[in-house]
Amino acid sequence: MTELLIKGGTVYTPDGPRHADVHVSDGAIVRVEPGLAIGPDGREIDVNGMYVLPGAVDVHVHSRDPGFPEKEDFATMTAAAAAGGVTVVLDMPNTVPAVDSAGVLESKAALARSKAQVDFGLWGLIRSSTTPEQLEAMADAGAVGFKAYLAYSFSLSRKQVLYSPDDEDPDLEPPADYGTLARLAPVVAALGLPLAIHAEDPTVLAAFRRPLLTYDDLLESRPPEAEAVAVSAAATVARESGAHLHIAHLSSALGLQAAEDAVKVGTSLSIETCPQFLLLTAQDFDQVGSAMKMLPPIRGAADREALVGGLKRGVISVVSTDHAPHTDEEKSRRFEEAPAGSPGVQTLYLSCLQLAKDLGDVWLAPRWVSQAPADLFGLSRSKGAIAPGFDADIVIVDPRGKTRVRPEHMRSRQRHGALEGKVFDFSIQSVFLRGEPFAPGGKARGRMVRPALVAR
């Protein structure tokens, strides 16, 4: 029996913060009480003055694996996650081949098990040609939910999701649309899994298409109306079918208003936003450069303020990263040539701790990045809390520390991200997965997580 005692810290429990010790045995939390002791064969860690937090659950990452390992793979992505206190990642389905069947999901799971340093879950893809039977099979194989990219076509030859304005190309299957959602949402509802969308309406985007030579071009090409229209239409489908709709990477005040309006009329809906939308605005582009080129884009100060307000009111419940790295060489190209996306999983917890502190309640952070996502994705029997019976996925944070985001400290293949240079009033001291500490270069010990809410 392996025993660990984390002693003297302020522990974030399901009932809020309290001064307590955490007793871990064989990878699980067994007691959370003050004044605990363990036998001489156990390991004791003194964390006086520090925070003891549940490991984060990042519900929106792109491992690039399989398909583009030169950009990222499960080993580098999960090493970055572990360094940042993220102990569960939910990987999006637009790897190559895309995760559009149970067979592909199982193959990707086997690959992830051979590399992952943290636990992982896998999203399934909704294509315009997806059948109910395919969704049911992916659910049986362990999918955590299903994602529809409303503005992204599918290459039949490459088995790849891609944004392409060339809708005449015979190799391209058209994007999943609202008709696709209406056809499949009842199946997703019956399975008890979330239906997520990349919320950009393709008809609105088509009206604003232009060469992306500058950041202003990017903003004009992805207007907030595209997000709001997609949210409203998908919410109508979800409400009629009884499906739970999850809005990925919400970026605008207009999109937030559309989501709030949908909730008011009875839609089961959750919203995630990302640190880059909460900490940066379009005005930062002159300093940050192409590292902050992403889709949807980082918008103006009014949008940032609206998203922060949504978090404060609890309308936005989850903060995730949309971790989407490329190579540093690719991101250093001229703006029109640089691909969209940036790493973020390593800075998720620190970003949210800083934002929560600035809002006056640092304990909001573990709710946004751990408790709420674990609840939402059916993982709350073992993840998202420091409580007896839960996995000992634990993050020790020093609130007296300082961390500057430096490229040499980043574990992702893309070292230069959008938050480079940011300074946080916290430092991560230790991270544990099932009671075992992480160390750089550690072995693959991540397990696949499966949601507990599947109805089948």
- Residue 413 pLDDT level (bands cut at 50, 70, 90): very high
Q: Which two tokens stand for residue 121?
A: 């879950």
Rounded CA-CA distance 270/357 in Å is 23
- The reply to whether 307 falls in a domain is yes
Q: Please say if the pLDDT value at position 170 is more than 90.
A: no
Q: Please say if the pLDDT value at position 357 is more than 50.
A: yes
Cβ burial of 114 (10 Å; 0-12, 13-18, 19+) is: exposed
> What percentage of the chain reaches a pLDDT higher than 70?
98
Nearest to 417 by CA among 313, 301, 298, 259: 298
157 alpha-carbon distance from chain centroid: 29
- The reply to whether 119 falls in a domain is yes
- Residue 453 pLDDT level (bands cut at 50, 70, 90): low
- The reply to whether 39 falls in a domain is no
Rounded CA-CA distance 153/165 in Å is 9
Q: Please say if the pLDDT value at position 373 is more than 80.
A: yes
pLDDT of the residue at 456 = 37
- The reply to whether 32 falls in a domain is no
Q: Please say if the pLDDT value at position 143 is more than 70.
A: yes
- The reply to whether 49 falls in a domain is no
- Residue 5 pLDDT level (bands cut at 50, 70, 90): very high
User: Mind listing the pLDDT tens digit for each residue in 56-77?
Assistant: 999 999 999 999 999 999 999 9
Residue 160, CA distances (Å) to 93, 149, 242, 416 in order: 10, 12, 30, 26
User: Mind listing the pLDDT tens digit for each residue in 191-223?
Assistant: 999 999 999 999 999 999 999 999 999 999 999
Size of the chain in residues: 456
Query: In the predicted model, what is the mean pLDDT of residues 155-170?
Result: 79
Q: Which amino acid is at 451?
A: P
pLDDT of the residue at 200 = 98
Name the domain count of the chain. Answer: 1
pLDDT of the residue at 1 = 60
Cβ burial of 111 (10 Å; 0-12, 13-18, 19+) is: middle
Give the residue ranges of DSSP H helices in 338-454: 348-358, 364-366, 372-376
Nearest to 440 by CA among 323, 344, 353, 346: 346
Provide the CATH number for the domain around residue 297: 3.20.20.140
Q: Which of 43-47, 351-355, 423-427, 440-444 is least confident?
A: 440-444
| CB neighbour list of residue 73: distance below 8 Å, 6 or more residues apart | 63, 64, 65, 115, 413
- The reply to whether 419 falls in a domain is no
- The reply to whether 450 falls in a domain is no
Q: Please say if the pLDDT value at position 53 is more than 70.
A: yes
Rounded CA-CA distance 375/396 in Å is 22
Average model confidence (pLDDT) across the chain: 96
Residue 329 belongs to what domain range?
56-383
User: Mind listing the pLDDT tens digit for each residue in 380-401?
Assistant: 999 999 999 999 999 999 999 9
- Residue 455 pLDDT level (bands cut at 50, 70, 90): very low
- Residue 142 pLDDT level (bands cut at 50, 70, 90): very high
pLDDT of the residue at 433 = 98
pLDDT of the residue at 2 = 85
User: Mind listing the pLDDT tens digit for each residue in 79-119?
Assistant: 999 999 999 999 999 999 999 999 999 999 999 999 999 99
Dihedral pair phi/psi, residue 46, rounded to 5°: -90, 120
User: Mind listing the pLDDT tens digit for each residue in 296-314?
Assistant: 999 999 999 999 999 999 9
- The reply to whether 331 falls in a domain is yes
